Amino acid sequence: MILFLFLLCLCVFSSSLPFFFVLTNGQKRMMELQALIQLVSDYHPGEENSTSHSSLLSAVQQLKAALTDIEKIGEGIRPLVRALVTASVHLPEEWDDILKALRGVLTNTGVPWLHRAFLLKTLPRMLLDAPTDRWKQYGDVLCEVLVHSSMPPPGLEEGDAQNTQDEASQHPNPQERRVAVTALLSLQEECAAAIVERLVAQLPQALSTCVAIVSSPSARDGLKKAFEAWLCRPTSSADASCAMEIEKALKEHFQGYGGPKCEQLCAALISSEPLRSLTEIAALQKDLLALAEVDVSHRNIVSNRLSLAFLLTKATEVLDLVYSSEQKCLEKGVEDFTLPLSAVQLLVQLTDTASVTPESLSIQEMQRLSACLLAVKNADAALDASLPLIECTLHLVLRALPCLSTTDEGVRLLLNDLLGVTSTLLPVVEDAVLKIHSAVPLLCDQQHAINTKAVADDVEGSVQTAQTTFRALRVAQTVVQLCRIFRKKIQNYGEKQREGEYPRHNLEELAAAVRGITLSWRREKKKIQRLPVLTNPQSRRVIAHAAGNKKENASFIQTTTSCRWGRRASPLTAAPP
C-alpha cells in the first residue's frame, strides 16, 4: 500500500512538471516587462542615477515588440501602454513609431475593449511636454486617431435600436467612442482647430461626435468657438443639415455663441471698399444689420475692432452719395432715402459701443460729415431737409467732437457754423412740434372711433395717418433736444474759453449728453418692432394747415401723408434697422 501511494504521488508530480515550467516562464516574461517599465519610469533627464538615454531607447524597442504579442501580456498591457506614452515625450525620434504600435492595439479586436478604452484615455499624454517645433505635428496626428475612434462605424447611426442590440461587436463600441470624445476634450485648446477640421471632414458620420463635444460641460470655449468659426464659412449643401444641428447645440450650450460671427462681420466691414454708388448701400446695410443684432455680450468685440472715427467715415460715404451734386436731394424718390437712412441709423446704433480716440478725426473729415447740416442756412432749407437724416447726422457730429484736435483753429469755426445751423433749425422744428401736438386730440378721437367700430372703410388709412404723424413728432422732438443741448453746452463753452479753460472736457460733456438722448426710431421700437420711420416730416404743411379747430386739423392729417415738408411729394417711410 505504501509503495502504491508513492508511485501515485510520483505520477502526479511528473504530470504537473511541464505546467510548472510554463507558468514559471510566463512569470519570468512579466518580470522582464516590469523591469523595462520601471526603467522607463526611472528616466529623468539631467538627474543623477537616472536611466541612460541608450537604456531607455533599448527598453522602448522591447516594449514595442511586446505589443505584437498582446495575448501573452494579459493585464500587463496597461502599465506597458503607460510606459510607452511616457517614453514618447523623451524620445522624439521614436514618437511616430510608438504611436504606430499603439494604434495597432486600437485596431486589434482581440484586445478587450476596456484595454482599448484605457489606451484612448492615455493618448493625450503624448502631447505633454512635447518639443515646441513638433507640437502641431503631434497634435494633428493625435486628433486624427481620436476622431477616428470617436465616430460610429460607417453605415451605423448613433442610437439606432438595431445597433444597440449588437453594441459589443461594434468597433469602436459606444463605450470606446465616449472615452475618445473625453480624450478629445482633454487636449489643449490649441488643438481646437485641428479637432474641428477632422470632424467636419467626416460629416455626416461624425455628426453625433460633434454634437456630443459641443454639448459637453467639459468642452472649452476655444473648441466651441472653432465650431462656430466653421459655421461662419460657406458649407456644402450636403453638410447643411449637419451644420444646423451643430448650430442648434452651440446656441443651447455655448454662452459665448456669436463671438466669431461678430469678429467676421467687423473684419468684413473694416476691409470693405469705400462706397461708390447708391446701389452699394444695400450690401452695407445688410452687414450693419447683422452686426447690430449681435448679442450684447459681444459688444466688447465691436468696441475693440470698430472706432467711432471709422463709423463716422462710413456714415460720411453714405451721406455723400445721398447729397451728391449729380442728384439733388429734392429730386430723390422714396427708394433713394430708404436704404441710406437705414444704414445711417445702424451706424448711429453702433457708435454706442465703438471706441473713442482723441484726435482720430481731422477737421476736413468732420466738415464732410457735417455737409448736410451746414447746408441749412435759412428756414426754407430747414423745411426742405430730410429731418430723420438731419437727426442722425447731428447726433453723429456732436458725438464725434471729442475725436477732433482741440488745438485746430478749424474746430472753433465748425462750432460757430453748427451754432448757426441750430439757430436756424430750432425755431422751425419747435413750431412744427407745436402744430403736430395740436392735432393729437383729433388723432386720439379717431383712434377711439376706430376701436369701437367693427368695420370701417377708412380704418387702414386712418391708422397709417396716425402712425406717420406720431413718427414725425418723435423725429422733430429729438432734433429739438439735440439743438437745445448743443446750444446750451456751446454757450457755456464760449464763456469758459474766454476764461482760458481747455475745451476738451466741454466737448466730452456734450458728447455724453447727446449719447443719453433716445433717438426717434428707438423710442418707436419700444412700442412696435420694425415700424417704418418717416424720412421727411412735413413741417411746412404742419404750419400751413394746422389750426385751432378739429376740422382744419382733419384737413392737415389727410394731406400729411402725401406732402413733403412743403415743396413736393417725397418719401415718407423707410425701414429702420
Out of 216, 237, 253, pick the residue that ends a domain: 253
Same domain, 420 and 551: yes
| Number of separate domains in the chain | 2
Distance of CA 1 to the CA centre of its chain: 95
| Percent of the chain residues topping a pLDDT of 90 | 14
SS3 content of the chain, % helix, strand, coil (to 5): 75, 0, 25
Q: What is the mean pLDDT of residues 377-394?
A: 87
Q: What is the mean pLDDT of residues 436-454?
A: 62
Peptide bond into 153 cis (omega under 30): no
Same domain, 233 and 372: no
Bigger pLDDT: 415 vs 558 = 415
Q: Using the CB atoms, write b or e for 559-572: b if 16+ within 10 Å.
A: ebbebbbbeeebbb
This prediction's pTM: 0.66
Q: Tens digits of per-residue pLDDT, 330-351?
A: 445 445 577 888 999 999 988 8
Calculate ∠ Cα 42-103-78, nearest 5°: 40
CA pair distance 242, 265, nearest whole angstrom: 23
Same domain, 346 and 385: yes
Q: Look at the block and give the residue holding cell 479637432.
A: 195
CATH code assigned at 65 = 1.25.10
Same domain, 364 and 512: yes
Same domain, 384 and 413: yes
289: left (phi over 0), alpha (psi -120 to 50) or beta: alpha
Same domain, 431 and 301: yes
Same domain, 513 and 372: yes
CA pair distance 251, 253, nearest whole angstrom: 6
Same domain, 207 and 267: no
Residue 41 clears pLDDT 90, i.e. is over it:
no
Q: Residue 162 falls within a domain, yes or no?
A: no
Q: Cα torsion for 48, 49, 53, 55, to the nearest 10°?
A: 170
> 365, exposed or middle or buried, with CB in 10 Å at 0-12, 13-18, 19+?
middle
Q: Sign of dihedral through CA atoms 262, 263, 268, 271? A: positive
Picking from 71-75, 118-122, 139-143, which range would have the lowest pLDDT averaged per residue?
71-75
Q: Tens digits of per-residue pLDDT, 184-214?
A: 999 988 899 999 999 999 988 999 999 999 9
130: containing domain: 23-43+51-153+172-253
Bigger pLDDT: 167 vs 513 = 513
Q: What is the pLDDT of residue 183?
A: 93
Out of 237, 253, 269, pick the residue that ends a domain: 253
Q: pLDDT grade, residue 540 (50/70/90)?
A: very low
Q: pLDDT grade, residue 148 (50/70/90)?
A: very high
- The closest alpha carbon to 257, from 292, 286, 287, 232, belongs to 232
Same domain, 277 and 299: yes
| Percent of the chain residues topping a pLDDT of 70 | 71
Out of 207, 229, 253, pick the residue that ends a domain: 253
Cell of 94: 521614436
Enumerate long-range contacts of 152-160, CB under 8 Å, 24 or more apart.
Answer: 152/177, 152/205, 152/208, 154/205, 157/208, 158/208, 159/208
Most confident range (mean pLDDT) of 70-79, 289-298, 365-374, 561-570 is: 365-374
Same domain, 364 and 279: yes
Q: Residue 17 falls within a domain, yes or no?
A: no
Q: Residue 1 falls within a domain, yes or no?
A: no
321 Cβ partners below 8 Å, 6+ apart? Answer: 275, 277, 278, 281, 340
Same domain, 237 and 277: no
Cell of 89: 515625450
